[in-house]
Structure 1
Amino acid sequence: MPVIVAANPKGGSGKSTSCIVLGTTLAARGATVRIIDADPQRTLGRWAEGKSIHREIVTTPRAGEDLTDLIDTLATEVQFVIIDVQGTANQEMAAAMSRADLVLIPMQAKTADAEVATRAIGLLRSQEKLFKRKIPHAIIFMRTSPIIVTREEKEIRESIANAGIPRFKAGLNERTAFSHMFAQKAGLGELTPAETNGLIAARVNAEAFTAEVIEVLRKGIA
């Protein structure tokens, strides 16, 4: 079953957001999902302490537990395994990448983020050489405006395209709903329009991103 890793050495890049949006959207569709919160900050672990109907999709590794063993076990039990790894280009990130059917590289459309994201791509390339296989991957822009594309964002998009780095068409925009998912420890389907502005647009955004992930996986696994 597909293993999806969200990786970027930069903290605050949007790894946890991309994981929880993707995981809960898949779960709401009826898929069986486990999100491994391998980041010491335990952002997703804290989210799972709430009352969401999807809270059991989050798994936190036990102390001393081998991450690759956990990934391999869960991949035999559920349809999708998603891993939120530590925001450091370390051995754990490399181990997760070694099992990945798809690596998401979340980043904001900022020059500083783009420079750091190249470290994740460099680590991915080393894993490809080590395991002698291509690892499908793509950048996903986070917290972008759905209305205005800044000059900096245009330049970064062009630079990524020129470098031949794949990028998702559907980024996750700056949406109140994505912040409320963590504040209320809920899935998008559990939030209400009365409390969350732009909820419908956020759901459409999440569905578009999830559909594109599934499309990329199908092409990569076929």
Structure 2
Amino acid sequence: MPIVVAANPKGGSGKSTSCIVVGTTLASRGASVRIIDADPQRTLGRWGQGASQYKDLVVTPTPGEDLTDLIDRLATQVQFVIIDVQGTANQEMAAAMSRADLVLIPMQAKTADAEVATRAIALLRSQEKLFKRTIPHFILFIRTSPIIVTREEKDIRQSIANAGIPGLSASLNERTAFSHMFAYKLSLPELSSSDTNGLPAALENAESLTAEIIEVLLGKKEDAA
């Protein structure tokens, strides 16, 4: 079953948001999903303490539990395993990458974020050498404007493409609904349009991103190989 890892050494890079958006969107389509919260900040674990019908998607490793053992066990039980790892290039990030069918590297379209994201790429390359296999990976831009593409974003997308690093066409826009998922501990469809501006657009955004990720996993979109 597909294992998707969200990895970036920079804290606050959007890993948790990416995981919960994609995981709950897949679940709303009827897929069986587990989201491992391997980040000590436990952002997803706190989300899972809310009232969402999808709260049981989130799994928190028990103290001392080996992450790869947990990944391997869940991969035999559900269709999708999504992993949010700590915002630092450590052993757990490497372990998650070693099991990944797809690594997403969420980042803002900012020069500083692009420089930090290269650390995740370097760690991924080392895992590829260690395990002698290609690990498909894509940059996922987050907090982008739904209205205009800034010059900085265009330049960063171009520089990433020039470096041979693939990026997803879909991005997660800067939308109130994505922050409200954590404020109210609910999935997007469970939010109220009366409380959350732009909810239909956020739902469409989540669907387009999830659809593209499925295309990648099915091999219908060119990967990092």
Task: Sort the TM-score into its range (normalised by shorter chain).
Answer: over 0.9
**Separation (CA, whole Å) in 2 of partners of 1:31 and 1:5:** 17
Match of 1:211 in 2: 211
Paired residue total: 221
> Deviations 1:3-40 (Å, cap 9, x if unpaired)?
00000000010000000000000000000000000000
Q: Which residue pairs with 2:10 in the alignment? A: 10
Once the two structures are superposed, the pairs formed by residues 78-93 of structure 1 within 5 Å of their partners are 78-93=78-93
Q: CA RMSD in A?
A: 1.0
Corresponding position: 1:71 with 2:71: yes
Q: Give the drift of 1:150.
A: 1.3
Deviation at 1:148, TM superposition (A): 1.4
Shift of 1:85: 0.2
Identity %: 79
Matched, 1:94 2:72: no
**Are 2:124 and 1:124 equivalent residues in the alignment?**
yes
Query: What letter is aligned with 1:89?
Result: A
Query: What is the distance in 2 between the residues matched to 1:175 and 1:152?
Result: 19
Distance 1:56 1:133 in 2: 33
Equivalent position of 1:186 in the other structure: 186
Gaps spanning 5+ residues in structure 1: where? none
The equivalent residue for 1:143 is 143
Offset of residue 92 of structure 1: 0.5
Matched, 1:45 2:40: no
State the partner residue of 2:223. none
Match of 1:113 in 2: 113
- Cα deviation for residue 93 of structure 1 reads 0.2
CA distance in 2, matches of 1:196, 1:83: 27
Counterpart residue identity of residue 128, structure 1:
E
Which residue of structure 2 aligns with residue 103 of structure 1? Answer: 103
For residue 177 of structure 1, what is the aligned residue in structure 2?
177
State the distance in 1 between where 2:116 and 2:208 align: 26
Alignment of 1:57-68 (within 5 A): 57-68=57-68
Counterparts in 2 of 1:25-40, with a 5 A limit? 25-40=25-40
Structure 2 unpaired stretches of 5+: 221-225
Q: Distance in 1 between the 2:211 and 2:148 partners?
A: 23
3-state SS, counterpart of residue 219 of structure 1: coil
